[in-house]
Structure 1
Amino acid sequence: MFNNSSKILFMLILIMSTLISICSNSWMGAWMGLEINLLSFIPLMSDNKLMSTESSLKYFLIQALASSILLFIIIMFMMNSIILNNFMKMMFMSSFLLKMGAAPFHFWFPNVIEGLSWMNSLILMTWQKIAPMMLISYIIFKSFIIMSIFFSSLIGALGGLNQTSLRKLMAYSSINHLSWMLASIYESNLIWMIYFLIYSFMTFTMIFLFTMFKISHMNQLFSLFFNSKTMKFFIFFNLLSLGGLPPFLGFFPKLIVIQSLIVNNQLMVLIFMVMMTLITLYFYMKLTYSSFLLNYYEINWNMNSNFNMIKMKFFMFFSFLSSFGLFIIFSLYYLY
């Protein structure tokens, strides 16, 4: 078990390793950054619990496999000194997609997240995707990335339909969002940065809530009690925002990607992604309706003493931005 100072050190190494991969001017340097990233994240995952130890072992094996594929292709490329052909591009992209858990290499992602704490899940769903996504942008192979977009949309939508675990639900939601991020990075790095930042903010807001109330399953969401129904509305507004329902903030990056795909005549990809997003919205809406319309017994006495009011105020602020951020953006746009 590591103390807090050790965890802070590993977090700094994690951040620096991602920057090494992004800023490297050679594939070998990028590979070294990814390896340092792996070795710094494994100690953060392990917290002397059986499920987290199992998840860290699964994560290590999968990342080692992806790193082996990447190193093999790098050595082939350096020995032959030839221009990247389609096979090499496909192998490069396969290793990066495997590292970040995009379909069809997603099989490990929900199972690993299921055994992690919420904070480690947040890192895995957000920060750990930065380096592979940036490296993919250097070697985009059109047909392969479109295949991954289709699979990620489909599996992210259908995989979350029958889930009761919120960790797995967030994992499949992340896979679905990966399809939009891959589509955005295919169009423009700037669009990808906007999408990733807003997605990370919405994911952080939800995980902040789950950590604060120690929630892991859907039935815990149904019976949450608050002094005000406003809090419950904000919670499910965040879920709908994460699903990309207008007029919430989560619709804004999707709107940018939709506009970009229309301009570049990628209509088939766009129609499929929108249809799969409607399925994800279906299970978010089902969760919301179940909580508000079904008759659940709720505890009515005051529980403020058990909650940190500073955290509650932070959550309300983040929820407000997630719920009404789109109005704020458009208002600022029209004002200036």
Structure 2
Amino acid sequence: MKINSSKVFFLSFMIVGVMICLCSNNWLFIWAGLELSLITFLPIMQSKFIVSSESIMKYFLIQSISSGILIMGLMIILMKLMNNSTIMTTAILMKMGVAPFHSWIISVVEPLQPLALTLILTISKIAPLMILSFTQISISMIVVITLITGSVLGLNQSAIKKLIAYSSIFNLGFMIAAIKNNYIWLTYLIVYSLLIVMTIWVFNKINSIYINQLIFNEELMVNKYTLWINLLSMGGMPPLMGFSIKLMIVEFVISKMMITNLFLMIVLSTVVMFYYLRMTYLTLMFYSYTPKWSVSSVKKMPSLVIVINLIMTPLVLMIKALN
């Protein structure tokens, strides 16, 4: 998708809406920031595909309904009709696309262009996660359902965008598990967003929509190596960058004695790694025209992505040891 002045305008105001949510101490301004992000994100979702209109309408309806539920929950709390924030939490979970409210995001991501897909999986999650960190009710069951949904339901998917969406749902389970520690979930979100950006960039570079297309794709081998490293990093393979953030979450969960969540995180991470490896196997093993050891051209950007993934975890551990 070409970045013209209109896209820059709407993207700027979407970021402003997120900043309003982060910087406000008033629930009304937080809600206004959410609505500003919603309205300015809709034009960014527009693409040449006919189904993009359907995707925009679904996104608008879901976000509008969840905003209405959020306002209703605020009114109930202000009128002291209910002491807990169950209704508000439900609205925020619906906005994020967390299981069991995940069905809409799977159908919305299919026709999106790379920029809109990146935004809906990264920046649009910041404000709802921040609001969720204010709530006081226990969401351990939501973490369990999200981890199971994101890992198991991704096994039978052949569309790459849907796989990335299920991966995002699975990683939201990790973030929600550490939602009471703002430093940990924000660091996780930033690093995971960087991995999402690099992965979507590679898939856009090799122009693949379905997994089976990776077999017949004869792009530069260095792009396929970059995709392989990125997917391993997203799965949490040491010593790549994704391992460092998963290690932080595991340490936090152990400190809180959340043994069930820890067990599910470790076991289901292997399931997610399975469908990551399935994509990388199809990418690398069926490269028919060029030998595996022959890389005809080395580009700066893919090489930089590989280097960042490889050095990040040792760098983090070294800094931690020095402190």
TM over 0.5: yes
Match of 2:6 in 1: 6
Q: Indicate whether 1:148 and 2:133 are aligned.
A: no
Q: Per-residue deviation at 1:290? A: 3.5
Residues 42 and 2 of structure 1: CA distance in aligned 2, closer, same or farther (over 3 Å): farther
Match of 1:255 in 2: 247
Cα distance in 2, alignment partners of residues 315 and 84 from structure 1: 53
The 3-state SS of whatever aligns with 1:139 is: coil
Aligned residues: CA RMSD: 2.4
Residues 59 and 237 of structure 1: CA distance in aligned 2, closer, same or farther (over 3 Å): same
Query: Could you report, residue by residue, the CA deviation over 1:85-127 in whole angstroms, capped at 9, with x for unpaired residues?
Result: 23xx111111111111111110101110112112101000000
Q: Which runs of 5+ in 1 are unaligned?
A: none
Does the 8 Å CA contact 2:231/2:276 hold for their aligned counterparts?
Answer: yes
Match of 1:163 in 2: 157
Match of 2:216 in 1: 223
Match of 2:34 in 1: 34
Residues 325 and 59 of structure 1: CA distance in aligned 2, closer, same or farther (over 3 Å): same
Q: Out of 201, 221, 229, which is 2:194 matched to?
A: 201
Does the 8 Å CA contact 1:224/1:298 hold for their aligned counterparts?
Answer: no
Does the 8 Å CA contact 2:202/2:223 hold for their aligned counterparts?
Answer: no
Q: Per-residue deviation at 1:324? A: 3.4
Q: Per-residue deviation at 1:331? A: 4.0
Residues 296 and 58 of structure 1: CA distance in aligned 2, closer, same or farther (over 3 Å): same
After the TM superposition, which residues 295-310 of structure 1 pair with which residues of structure 2 at under 5 Å, given as runs?
295-298=286-289
TM-score (norm 2): 0.92
After the TM superposition, which residues 78-157 of structure 1 pair with which residues of structure 2 at under 5 Å, given as runs?
78=78, 80=79, 82=80, 85-86=83-84, 89-142=85-138, 145-157=139-151
Q: Which amino acid aligns with 1:273?
A: M
Query: Could you report, residue by residue, the CA deviation over 1:281-311 in whole angstroms, capped at 9, with x for unpaired residues?
Result: 1111222234334x4533699997xxxx8xx
Does the 8 Å CA contact 1:223/1:298 hold for their aligned counterparts?
Answer: no
Does the 8 Å CA contact 1:198/1:250 hold for their aligned counterparts?
Answer: yes
Q: Which amino acid aligns with 1:160?
A: G
Q: Which amino acid aligns with 2:10?
A: F
Cα distance in 2, alignment partners of residues 334 and 140 from structure 1: 34
Matched-pair identity in %: 32
Cα distance in 1, alignment partners of residues 116 and 268 from structure 2: 27
Q: Per-residue deviation at 1:54? A: 1.2
Does the 8 Å CA contact 1:31/1:67 hold for their aligned counterparts?
Answer: yes
Q: Per-residue deviation at 1:68? A: 0.9
Structure 1 moving runs of 4+ over 6 Å: 299-304
Cα distance in 2, alignment partners of residues 85 and 298 from structure 1: 66
Cα distance in 1, alignment partners of residues 295 and 135 from structure 2: 56
Match of 1:71 in 2: 71
Does the 8 Å CA contact 2:206/2:223 hold for their aligned counterparts?
Answer: no
Q: Which runs of 5+ in 2 are unaligned?
A: none
TM-score (norm 1): 0.88
Q: Per-residue deviation at 1:237? A: 1.3
Cα distance in 2, alignment partners of residues 2 and 327 from structure 1: 37
Query: Could you report, residue by residue, the CA deviation over 1:254-303 in whole angstroms, capped at 9, with x for unpaired residues?
Result: 1011111111111111111221111101111222234334x453369999
After the TM superposition, which residues 179-328 of structure 1 pair with which residues of structure 2 at under 5 Å, given as runs?
179-186=173-180, 188-226=181-219, 229-293=221-285, 295-298=286-289, 312-328=299-315
Cα distance in 2, alignment partners of residues 266 and 166 from structure 1: 32
Cα distance in 1, alignment partners of residues 44 and 284 from structure 2: 37
Q: Which amino acid aligns with 2:288?
A: Y
Does the 8 Å CA contact 1:110/1:168 hold for their aligned counterparts?
Answer: yes
Query: Could you report, residue by residue, the CA deviation over 1:145-168 in whole angstroms, capped at 9, with x for unpaired residues?
Result: 111111110010011101111100
Q: Per-residue deviation at 1:223? A: 3.4
Match of 1:52 in 2: 52
Paired residues, what number?
A: 321
Q: Per-residue deviation at 1:209? A: 1.1
Cα distance in 2, alignment partners of residues 132 and 74 from structure 1: 15
Does the 8 Å CA contact 1:28/1:74 hold for their aligned counterparts?
Answer: no
Residues 2 and 33 of structure 1: CA distance in aligned 2, closer, same or farther (over 3 Å): farther
Q: Per-residue deviation at 1:193? A: 1.4
Cα distance in 2, alignment partners of residues 124 and 248 from structure 1: 25
The 3-state SS of whatever aligns with 1:114 is: coil
Query: Could you report, residue by residue, the CA deviation over 1:153-195 in whole angstroms, capped at 9, with x for unpaired residues?
Result: 0010011101111100000000000000101213x10111111
